[in-house]
Amino acid sequence: MISIGAAGHVIPMFELAKAMKHHNVTFITESVAQNYIDFGSYRNSLSLRVIFTNESIDALADETKIENDLVEYFTNHSLVDSLAILIPTLARSIDAILNKTIQTLMIEQYDVIIAESFIKGVHALSNDTNIPCVIQTAGVKLDQFYINLPDRNSFLSSKQMSQLKYRIYNVACHLRLMGSIGIKLLPLVSTIFRSPPKIPGPFYNTFTLKNIFFTTTKCLHLHSIPPTLFPLSESSPYSIYLGPFIDESSIHHATNDLVG
Q: Which tens digits make up the pLDDT trace of 211-228?
A: 888 888 889 988 776 544
| pTM summary value | 0.78
Range of the domain at 203: 7-250
Q: Are 150 and 137 in contact (CB under 8 A)?
A: no
Reported in sequence order, the residue ranges of 82-151 that DSSP labels E, i.e. its strands, are 113-116, 133-137
Tens of pLDDT, residue by residue over 170-217, are 788 878 878 877 787 777 777 666 666 677 778 888 888 888 888 888
- Give the residue among 8, 100, 120, 116 at the shortest CA–CA distance from 52: 100
Torsions phi, psi for 114 (to 5 deg) = -115, 120
Does residue 258 lie within any of the structural domains?
no
9, burial (CB in 10 Å: exposed 0-12, middle 13-18, buried 19+)? buried
CB neighbour class for 203 (10 Å; exposed up to 12, middle 13-18, buried from 19)? buried
- Domains in the chain, number: 1
Give the CATH number, domain containing residue 152.
3.40.50
